[in-house]
Structure formats: structure tokens, C-alpha cells
Amino acid sequence: MVNEEIKLSVKRNQRGQIIQVFFDNQHEEVTYEELTNNQNFELSGGTAFQQAVWLELQKIPAGTTISYQEMAARVGSPQAQQAVGQALARNPLPVILPCHRVTRKDGSLGGFMGQEDAVHIKQKILEYEKNLNRK
């Protein structure tokens, strides 16, 4: 299960909205299910392009992936795959806005949260989601 292998915690604003997700247990601990079903978040910061990318992530079904190229096309900038990758690396709300569902064109995972050494987190979440879809 994702929660046993990967710790998730959040930071909230004064209104109780989630403003940042972390992969640690240093903040308010939450489960994967609490995050994926949560619409009580505030998206602040980022450029208009980054926010468009982040919000488009919610349209990718759990357990499936799309490429950086497809995401670029979805937000109206088909040549902006690199900018999509940079936006995903800065996503303040991973899991809620599931950037782990975007992969390289060849299907390989690529980085996660701007870090190549965090790919195992991306892989674990995708495996968990695929197993959920099988049930």
C-alpha cells in the first residue's frame, strides 16, 4: 500500500485548505485516499501556464498516464514539453494534482518533483493506482 511505503503530509492555510503536499511525516499526516478525494485546496503561485498544467492533471484517470507531449497539447502549447516538465517539477500539490501520471513519450517515468532520485515515489503511486483499478 502506498501509505505504508510512502509518507504523505500536508500544510494548510488558515482556512484549512491544503496549500502544499510533502512526501514526509513532518507535517499533518494524510493518506493517499484523503488527498485524491480532496478538493479543499488552494493553488497559489506559479505562472498562468504552470497553473493550467497543474489543473489539467486532474483530468488524467488514476492508473493511467499521458506523455509530456500530450500534456503540452492539452494546454494549447504542443511544442512546450520541456515547459510542461518544469511546471510539473514545481507542482505544490502532488497527488491532489497528479503529476505522477505524466511520463516520457516512450512511457518511461522520467523525474518526479524535479528529482531523478524520487522516481521510485512516482513508480509506487502508479503501481498502487493500477492495483486499485483492478479491484
- Active site residues per annotation: 99
Contacts with 36 (C-beta within 8 Å, 6 or more apart), sequence order = 62, 95, 96, 98
Are 5 and 78 in contact, with CB atoms under 8 Å apart?
A: no
Classify residue 68 as exposed, middle or buried by CB count within 10 Å of its CB (0-12, 13-18, 19+).
buried
> d(Cα 17, Cα 133) in Å, to the nearest integer?
28
Are 87 and 46 in contact, with CB atoms under 8 Å apart?
A: yes
